């Protein structure tokens, strides 16, 4: 056994009914090392860190922390041993302030006033400005993440696990986070960094362990490898970027003019004077940190949220007060971010889910009576054309994996010969090959003359498929600009810069 | 340790088997209860479930079965549509009463005239009365976001007060010698809802119940409206994405269930009950809630559940007269049925797994 390892994982195996999430996984982290855990969705990264954090018990294998046997029965035990974790999805109460939220996660919280002082101290030391008395509901996603990080730092961890921390940050905020992480690492805290963003890993991490289908397929030093090499290790095949043909742009198919609506979501972001035009054959990419009005924009475009008549115009006709089916009739289809419960009904079969939004444009009913034969044929067509892996169309939507359901949902909308397509997070939680297929399908529809709006938090995705680019920041949309010639810095500024954090590491 | 594990697909077998299992468990637990009360449990169960169908006086009770099951099925079918969409009309009892009052009032207004159109008019008035009473919670919910469970339930008590005042006041039989209660509609041929086939218990309400079962089945299986009702109940956000207006759905489902409950009230007051009286309300509107769930909110299931519930009513009455069982124990018995149904319900979506203490 190598001495000096902080955490050593040997032969960890964890099987769930029907799937082996981790199979004989081994790796080691030294004190102060930033170690990347790299893999596609479903590769087993989450299960692995859940075992380290005591949320899941391994079936086989063992872990050693500073040379001693380590088998946390629950997260509390893991925290007591100096292991802390920042989750991808925050567990914060929006109606409580920062200090109260931090106190809720502690075993023996000190008095709130004392705690607030500590929070200020830690946030200054690590360049994470945060006011302990602010309401969490009013914070941006980046600030919420800081609450979670500070909650961990107050425990003085030896190992900090971070699950996809940059998915909610602007490029500038990412840089600030990295400075904090480097500072922690210099002080001897090891960091286990989970991500599938390769450039980030190259910039930050000392070592990387690459997982594929639950197994360790490679270990490498990220700085010595190209992003492409790592991507191919991760996916296991050679990737082809989507092909796009330069199509001539046509007439304006979708125009949004001065769209201002209140958010129907508690603590949501209202849209403020959003305006843009999309021509036929064009892809407009809308970026933004989560929670800056993306959901509301989709609702306002799909027709689930009504606005002034002329705020949303499809082919020059005011449709702001029309419902979803009237807009579908006019040629606009949409795919919301949340697959289960919004884009699809979890307990209904794929056939029924094909009917859900396909009725109007595919003519699946006559005088209100459903033509199940035709509906089944439509569902089967989607499954075939978009390579949805399922035993059949009778299967409940919730039984499909995230990627397969996403292919079905996006496929359902794209198969309706639309003239306007609005998609929020088209490849969220989807593996790389499925994501490539979805992006290609979107580009194909644009080439056929559809106007496309893609809302996404994945900048690489937008830069890959969009012709023009705009960003949502606190419900306002920046003026769209051609993608060609945009720099990452400019994009970051469109997304709201570092949200007032530019001075964070000024003293360092 | 026993663990529950969510099934990827709902089990078809258990969806069909849970009602049967619930009935069996009710028999066992009910038997224990009857034994504690000092009665022979086998005899009690036989009196409730067997004798009405195959016993000495079965010729009479079989007819009664349809008489009791008719209104239960008619009301439950209406309720099931709302329940599927997540709209909770708990006040069918009130709508049932108001349907009876409206329908009876129309019939009595024509008395003693004899004409073919009187009964159809009463049917329309009955459905309208129930619909109107259901529209109160529906409109309050869509306009002011009140809770339809509370409003519809409380309106039952209002309806009961109106019923008493009608029986004592406006609709009282002027030739009744001062006794409370209206004229007997079953003795007024143009307004009577008599047996269609003598001895069968079949009256127009039973016919309406069968039609409602078929119509609801077609609606849910074949019509986009039925699809939207199911969608709204399972995934409200997906329903809005599909273009369903939640308010329209509330008005529609409350309206249908109210109208059907009103019809049930009208057929009852003009047939088996015969008159508007203080004790006209017999709890059909509440029992129908159990019937709706016992039938898994499925029209065919409700048909069977309504017959089963009618059986426990008739058998329970027999048990209390023949064996001296307290009537509260019969109600407890019926309550057990719903309890066990809901308890074993989760088997269709979850499977039981025996495991050691490892957590996932």
SS3 A473: strand
Residues in A touching B242 (Cβ below 8 Å): 324-325, 356-357, 359
> Which candidate from B238, B242, B358 shows the least CB-CB separation from A57?
B358
CB contact under 8 A, A325 and B227: no
Q: Which of A61-70, A197-206, B248-257 has the highest mean pLDDT?
A: B248-257
Distance CA(A48)–CA(A22), nearest Å, equals 7
pLDDT surpasses 80 at A2: no
Q: Where in the sequence is the domain holding B346, given as residue range(s)?
A: 1-39+327-360
- Whether residue A304 and residue B241 make contact (CB cut-off 8 A), yes or no, is yes
Flag whether pLDDT at A508 surpasses 60.
Answer: no
CB spacing of A352 vs B227 below 8 angstroms: yes
Over 70: is that where the pLDDT of A22 sits? yes
For residue A397, the 8-state DSSP code is G
* Percent of chain A whose pLDDT exceeds 90: 49
Find out whether A242 and A465 touch, Cβ atoms under 8 Å: yes
Of A302, A324, A370, the CB nearest to B222: A370
| C-alpha–C-alpha distance, residues A455 and A436, integer Å | 16
Do B123 and B157 fall within a single domain? yes
pLDDT mean across residues, chain A: 87
**Which residue of chain B is at minimal alpha-carbon distance from A336?**
B241
- Asked if residue A154 lies in contact with residue A106, where contact means CB atoms within 8 angstroms, the answer is yes
Nearest by CB: B9 against A325, A342, A395: A395
Cβ contact (<8 Å) for B8 and A324?
no
Chain A closest-CA separation from residue B165 CA (Å): 44
Interchain contact, A356 vs B241, CB within 8 Å: yes
Residue B287 and residue B177 share a domain: yes
- Quote ipTM for the complex: 0.82
Q: What is the pLDDT of residue A1?
A: 45
Q: Taking CB atoms and an 8 Å cut-off, how many pairs form between chains A and B?
A: 78
pLDDT tens string A418-458: 999 999 999 887 777 788 889 999 999 999 999 999 999 88
Residues B346 and B253 in one domain: no
CB contact under 8 A, A17 and B5: yes
Q: Please check whether residues B236 and B157 belong to one and the same domain.
A: yes
- Residue B358: the pLDDT is 45
One domain for residues B334 and B318: no
Residue spans of the domains in chain A: they are 7-235, 252-494
- A56 touching B (Cβ < 8 Å): yes
Please give the average per-residue pLDDT across A64-74, as a whole number: 90
- Statement: residue A503 has pLDDT above 60: no
Q: Write the pLDDT tens digit of every residue in A301-356.
A: 999 999 999 999 999 999 999 999 999 999 999 999 988 899 999 999 999 999 99
pLDDT band at A393 (very low <50, low <70, confident <90, very high): very high
Q: Which residue has the higher pLDDT, A506 or B19?
A: B19
| CATH code of residue B188 | 1.10.3470
CB contact under 8 A, B227 and A355: yes
Indicate whether B178 and B316 sit together in one domain. Answer: yes
pLDDT in tens, A167-201: 778 888 888 889 999 999 999 999 999 887 788 88
Spell out which residues of chain A touch residue B224, defining contact as CB-CB under 8 Å: 355, 359, 365, 368-370
Q: Which residue on chain A is closest to B357 by alpha carbon?
A: A57
**Which residue of chain A comes nearest to B240, CA vs CA?**
A304
* Average pLDDT for A403-407: 88
Domains A7-235 and A252-494 share a fold: yes
Q: Answer yes or no: do A345 and B235 touch at CB < 8 A.
A: yes
CATH H-level, domain A7-235: superfamily: P-loop containing nucleotide triphosphate hydrolases (3.40.50.300)
Q: Which fold has domain A252-494?
A: Rossmann fold (3.40.50)
- Residue B360 is predicted with a pLDDT of 39
> pLDDT tens digit string along B267-288?
999 988 889 998 898 889 999 9
pLDDT of A117-146, one tens digit each? Answer: 999 998 888 888 888 898 888 887 788 888
Helix residue ranges, H only, chain B: 12-36, 41-49, 51-54, 58-84, 92-110, 118-144, 148-168, 204-222, 224-234, 236-241, 246-270, 284-294, 299-322, 327-345
pLDDT in tens, A26-42: 999 999 999 999 887 77
C-alpha distance from B144 to closest chain A C-alpha (Å): 17
Other Cβ atoms less than 10 A from the Cβ of B335: the count is 12
Whether B243 sits inside 8 A of A395 (CB atoms) is: no
Strand B2-6 and strand A332-335: the pairing is unpaired
Give A-chain residues touching B231 at CB under 8 angstroms.
345, 348, 356
A432 vs A476, residue with greater confidence: A476
Closest Cβ opposite residue B241 in set A57, A357, A370: A357
* B111 and B45, same domain (yes or no): yes
Residue B9 contacts A, CB cutoff 8 Å: yes
Q: Within a 10 A sphere around the Cβ of A237, how many other Cβ atoms? A: 10
pLDDT the model gives residue B248: 94
Shared domain for B207 and B94, answered yes or no, is yes
| Interface with A, mutate which of B240, B243, B247 (most A CBs under 10 A) | B243
Q: Which residues contact B116 (CB under 8 A, 6 or more apart)?
A: B190
With CA atoms as reference, report the closest residue to A427 among A193, A196, A243.
A196
Q: How many domains does chain B have?
A: 2
What is the C-alpha separation between B324 and B25, in angstroms, rounded? 23
Q: Inspect the interface and report whether the beta carbons of B224 and A347 lie closer than 8 Å.
A: no
- Distance, in Å, from the CA atom of B153 to the CA atom of B142, rounded to the nearest integer, reads 17
A218 in contact with B, Cβ within 8 Å: no
Nearest to A89 by CA among A52, A46, A131: A46
Residues of chain B with pLDDT under 70: 1, 8-10, 355-360
Q: Using only C-alpha atoms, what is the Rg of chain A?
A: 24
CB atoms within 10 A of CB B114: 11
Is residue B112 exposed (0-12), middle (13-18) or buried (19+ Cβ within 10 Å)? Answer: exposed
Return contacts of A315-319, CB within 8 angstroms, 24+ apart.
A315/A251, A315/A253, A315/A419, A316/A252, A316/A255
Q: List CB contacts of A238: < 8 A, sequence separation 6 or more.
A: A232
Residues B25 and B65 in one domain: no
């Amino acid at each position: 056994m190598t001495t000096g390892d902080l955490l050593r994982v040997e032969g960890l195996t964890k099987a769930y009914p029907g799937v082996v999430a981790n199979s004989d996984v081994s790796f080691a982290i030294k004190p102060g090392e930033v170690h990347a855990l790299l893999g596609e969705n479903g590769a087993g990264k989450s299960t692995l860190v859940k075992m380290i954090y005591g949320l899941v018990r391994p079936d086989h294998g063992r872990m050693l922390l500073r040379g001693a046997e380590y088998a946390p029965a629950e997260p509390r035990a893991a925290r007591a041993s100096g292991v802390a974790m920042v989750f991808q999805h925050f567990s914060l109460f929006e109606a409580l302030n920062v200090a109260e939220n931090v106190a809720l996660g502690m075993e023996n919280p000190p008095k709130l006033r004392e705690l607030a002082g500590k929070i200020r101290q830690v946030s200054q030391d690590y360049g994470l400005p945060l006011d302990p008395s602010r309401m969490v509901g009013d914070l941006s996603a980046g600030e919420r993440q800081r609450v979670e990080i500070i909650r961990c730092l107050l425990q003085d961890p030896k190992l900090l696990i971070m699950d996809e921390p940059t998915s909610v940050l602007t490029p500038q905020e990412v840089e600030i986070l990295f400075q904090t992480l480097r500072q922690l690492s210099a002080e001897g805290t090891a960091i286990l960094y989970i991500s599938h963003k390769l450039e980030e890993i190259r910039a930050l991490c000392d070592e990387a362990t690459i997982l594929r289908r639950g197994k360790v397929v490679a270990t490498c030093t990220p700085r010595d490898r190209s992003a492409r090499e790592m991507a191919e290790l991760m996916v296991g095949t050679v990737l082809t970027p989507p092909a796009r043909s330069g199509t001539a742009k046509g007439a304006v198919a979708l125009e949004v003019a001065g769209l201002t609506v209140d958010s129907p979501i508690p603590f949501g972001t209202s849209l403020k004077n959003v305006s843009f035009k999309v021509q036929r054959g064009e892809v407009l990419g809308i970026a933004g940190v989560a929670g800056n009005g993306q959901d509301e924009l989709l609702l306002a475009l799909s027709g689930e949220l009504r606005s002034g008549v002329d705020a949303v115009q499809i082919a020059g006709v005011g449709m702001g007060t029309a419902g979803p089916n009237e807009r579908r009739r006019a040629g606009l289809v949409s795919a919301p971010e949340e697959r289960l419960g919004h884009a699809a009904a979890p307990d209904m079969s794929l056939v029924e889910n094909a009917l859900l939004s396909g009725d109007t444009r595919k003519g699946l009913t006559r005088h209100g009576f459903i033509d199940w034969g035709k509906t089944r044929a439509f569902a089967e067509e989607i499954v075939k054309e978009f390579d949805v892996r399922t035993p059949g169309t009778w299967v409940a939507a919730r039984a499909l994996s995230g990627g397969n359901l996403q292919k079905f949902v996006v496929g359902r909308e794209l198969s309706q010969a639309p003239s306007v397509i609005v998609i929020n997070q088209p490849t969220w939680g989807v593996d790389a090959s499925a994501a490539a297929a979805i992006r290609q399908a979107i580009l194909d529809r644009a080439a056929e003359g559809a106007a496309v709006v893609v809302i996404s938090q994945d900048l690489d995705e937008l830069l890959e498929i969009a012709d023009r680019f705009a960003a949502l920041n606190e419900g306002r949309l920046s003026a769209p600009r051609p993608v060609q010639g945009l720099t990452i810095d400019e994009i970051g500024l469109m997304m709201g810069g570092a949200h007032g954090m530019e001075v964070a590491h000024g003293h360092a | 340790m026993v663990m529950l594990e969510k099934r990827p697909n709902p089990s078809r077998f258990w969806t069909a088997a849970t009602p049967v299992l619930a009935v069996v468990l009710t028999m066992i637990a009910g038997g224990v209860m009857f034994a504690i009360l000092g009665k022979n449990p086998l005899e009690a169960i036989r009196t409730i479930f067997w004798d009405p169908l195959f016993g000495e006086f079965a010729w009479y009770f079989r007819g009664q079965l349809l008489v009791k099951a008719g209104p239960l099925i008619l009301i439950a079918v209406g309720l099931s549509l709302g329940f599927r969409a997540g709209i909770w009309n708990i006040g069918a009892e009130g709508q049932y009463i108001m349907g009876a009052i409206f329908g009876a009032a129309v019939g009595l207004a024509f008395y003693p005239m004899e004409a073919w159109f009187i009964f159809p008019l009463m049917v329309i008035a009955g459905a309208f009365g129930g619909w109107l009473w259901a529209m109160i919670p529906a409109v309050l919910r869509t306009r002011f976001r009140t809770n339809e469970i509370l409003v519809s339930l409380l309106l039952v008590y209002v309806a009961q007060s109106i019923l008493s005042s009608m029986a004592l006041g406006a609709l009282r039989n002027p030739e009744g010698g001062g006794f409370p209660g209206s004229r007997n509609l079953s003795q007024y041929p143009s307004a009577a809802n008599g047996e269609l086939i003598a001895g069968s218990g079949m009256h127009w309400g039973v016919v309406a119940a069968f039609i409602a079962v078929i119509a609801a089945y077609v609606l849910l299986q074949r019509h986009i409206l039925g699809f939207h009702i199911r969608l709204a109940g399972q995934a409200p956000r997906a329903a809005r994405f599909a273009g369903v207006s939640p308010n329209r759905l509330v008005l529609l489902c409350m309206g249908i269930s109210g109208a059907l409950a009103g019809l049930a009230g009208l057929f009852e007051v003009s047939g088996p009950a015969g008159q508007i009286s203080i004790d006209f309300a017999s709890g059909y509107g509440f029992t129908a809630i159990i019937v709706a769930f016992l039938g898994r909110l499925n029209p065919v299931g409700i048909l069977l559940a309504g017959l089963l519930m009618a059986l426990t009513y008739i058998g329970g009455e027999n048990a209390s007269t023949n064996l001296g069982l307290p009537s509260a124990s019969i109600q407890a018995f019926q309550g057990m049925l719903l309890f066990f149904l809901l308890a074993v319900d989760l088997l269709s979506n979850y499977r039981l797994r025996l495991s050691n203490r490892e957590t996932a």
